Amino acid sequence: MDVLDRIVAAKRAEVAAEMRSISMRRAIELASSASPAHPFAAALAAAAAPAIVAEIGGSGVGAADADALARGFAEAGAAALSVLTDERFLKGSPRDLQAARAATPLPILRKDFLLEEYQVYRSRAYGADALLLMARLLPPRTLTTLIGVARSLHMEALVEVRDAADIERAAACGASLILVNARGGAEGTAPIETALRLGEALPAGSVRVAAGAVETAADLERLRAAGYQAVLLGERLTRAADPVQALRRLVAGESS
């Protein structure tokens, strides 16, 4: 059993356990009564390209930290936030998302291993405005369904791709908001080069987001010139001693 198989098995068990305390019917009710979603793609389009999606979560981040980071990232120029909510593998928590939601009106992306409709409803109830779906993790029919459920809740689905096959699958399933995970490139290939190469294959009219490809302000400019409307900054910020200051410096055009 490979890593993804273990993740899927663990996540399905987690969802089954959650459904024993919160039924599908109740999950739908909670999602339907949540405050209106904040437009995710529109926020990216309104920001200076490339818009910044700043990530919150991982080891050592609790609800209080998520609150402070959400406020700090908003002040530093982020157009949206990404919050890790998987506890076992990503060391995040839904509580972090709820804390970030209470701290700022910025649109929030839920980053987790989302496999079932139930999780989409729970995402809306937690306060997520968009959710990450992995093209290689989901059968085409399931990916299409989850995109549709998200849209029915006025949420948006950011579909992650790592290669040309993922791009083809995402496009066939109706994805219009696509994240290129540049860490999935060939060994020895710089992530920025992977992002630029895969960007050429993205569907016309799609909103293009890059992840794992930014180390310097020059990288941001190269992605902008290649047609990327946004970048998701995860590890680039989380490994910094002061993530908020690191974001300010990048936005200001400084490399470190």
Per-residue pLDDT tens digits for 177-227: 999 999 866 655 789 999 999 999 999 999 999 999 999 999 999 999 999
10: left (phi over 0), alpha (psi -120 to 50) or beta: alpha
Q: Can you list the domains of the chain with their CATH numbers?
A: 3-251 (3.20.20.70)
The pLDDT value given to residue 61: 72
Cα dihedral angle (162, 201, 51, 172), rounded to 10 degrees? -70
The low-confidence residues of the chain, meaning pLDDT below 70, are 1, 59-60, 184-188, 255-256
pLDDT at 183: 85
How many angstroms separate the CA atoms of 138 and 4, rounded?
11
pLDDT of residue 238: 85
Q: Residue 52 in contact with residue 247, Cβ under 8 Å? A: yes
Q: What is the pTM of this model?
A: 0.95
Q: What is the mean pLDDT of the chain?
A: 94
